[in-house]
Structure 1
Amino acid sequence: MEQDNGKVVEKDEVMQEEAEQNISDVGEQELDMSEKEPTVEEKYDTLNDNYIRLVAEFDNYRKRTIKEKAELIRSGGESVIVDVLPVVDNFERALKTIDSATDIVAIKKGTELIYQQLVKMLNDKGVKEIVTDNVDLDTELHEAITTLPVVEEERKGKIIDCTQKGYTLNDKVIRYAKVVVGE
């Protein structure tokens, strides 16, 4: 029986040690939990740091987009210039042959071909001529520079003459047509 009592005492001691260990572990966990709970100042510092990073990131984004827009504008003109160069080449060839040419019809035909090449290139880029032939004055497209009296009633308020062609680029007016209107 003494042996049983010794085992019981041993078990009691082991259990007591385990209980004390568990109590100490729980106490440490409570201390750890209280340490892990961020204070208001720590929360503020974290949020402030996140805010500062976000502002810096946005500022970098803004600067990058401004730089990209400037580069796009610079390189946007490049494609137009590249497309105009063949027209310039053709004009240079025509100018070289004009002095020695005797056939006026051929010179006229060559000049018309170069003009058509230029107009086609502009059309491909989205440039369109504003219509002015016998249409009503539209102040969104036309600029009336003067009026002329007309006898025919149906020509009143209509465009009689165009002194300078107007153009749109992708449906936006880039130059108003300067016109004479009947009154």
Structure 2
Amino acid sequence: MAAEMKMEPETQKLQEKLAELQKEMEEKTKLAEERLNQLKYLQADFENYRKSLDREKEQIIELANECLIKDLLVVLDDFERALQSMKEGKDKEGLSMLYKNFFKILEQHGLKPIEALGKKFDPYYHEAVLREKSDREEGTILEEFQRGYMLKSKVIRHSKVKVAEKSTEG
């Protein structure tokens, strides 16, 4: 019996120690889960930051391209005027080839001309510089003075146009 009684306090001490270790293990497990969640949040924040930097980088590149292409539109206009003023011949043919190649390169970078002639006036794409009384439907574009362009989906230069106005005669 004495051995049994001696075992009980030892068993009790062992059970207490076991309970203490289990409690400590639960605390450590909880701490590990908290740290894991913190790591997951940090990883998500870092991914968001990286994506934000990538978007910002793309915007900077697009802005740089836009500025360059806007400057090159002047050269494109000069090409068009030169072609219109030249008489047929090899010089005009050569200049026409240069113009087409130049325009093709700009198109590959997202430049698109805005269609204007015969279309309905849209202030998002067109700038009315003149109105003229006409028998055509009001708001129809009669003439294009300067071609407008879009870079991808953004208007970088509005078409300068003459717009039909309803004739009051009748």
Bucket of the pairwise TM-score, normalised by the shorter protein: 0.5 to 0.7
Shift of 1:120: 1.8
Which residues of structure 1 form unaligned runs of 5+? 1-11, 39-44, 81-87, 92-103
Which residues of structure 2 form unaligned runs of 5+? 67-71, 76-87, 166-170
Shift of 1:26: 1.9
1:163 aligns with 2:145: yes
Choose from 68, 77, 93 the match for 2:54: 68
| Farther off after superposition, 114-123 or 46-55 | 46-55
Choose from 18, 27, 34 the match for 2:7: 18
Take 1:156 and 1:78, find their aligned partners in 2: how far apart are those partners? Answer: 39
Structure label with greater radius of gyration: 1
| Farther off after superposition, 172-181 or 155-164 | 155-164
1:114 aligns with 2:98: yes
Paired residue type of 1:143: E
Alpha carbons 2:147, 2:159 under 8 Å: kept: yes
Paired residue type of 2:7: E
Give the 3 Å change call, closer, same or farther, for CA 33–171 of structure 1 in structure 2: closer
TM-score (norm 2): 0.60
Percent of pairs identical after alignment? Answer: 21
Take 2:138 and 2:62, find their aligned partners in 1: how far apart are those partners? Answer: 43
Partner-residue secondary structure (3-state), 1:140: coil
Shift of 1:147: 0.6
Shift of 1:31: 4.3
**1:41 maps to what in 2?**
none
Deviation by residue 1:105-130 (Cα, 9 ceiling, x = unmatched): 22211110011112222333332211
Paired residue type of 2:152: N
Take 1:137 and 1:78, find their aligned partners in 2: how far apart are those partners? Answer: 30
Take 1:49 and 1:136, find their aligned partners in 2: how far apart are those partners? Answer: 62
Partner-residue secondary structure (3-state), 2:105: helix
Give the 3 Å change call, closer, same or farther, for CA 25–130 of structure 1 in structure 2: same
Shift of 1:51: 9.2
Partner-residue secondary structure (3-state), 2:136: helix
Give the 3 Å change call, closer, same or farther, for CA 23–32 of structure 1 in structure 2: same
Deviation by residue 1:83-140 (Cα, 9 ceiling, x = unmatched): xxxxx9xx9xxxxxxxxxxxx7222111100111122223333322111222221223
How many residue pairs match? The answer is 147
Partner-residue secondary structure (3-state), 2:89: helix
TM-score (norm 1): 0.56
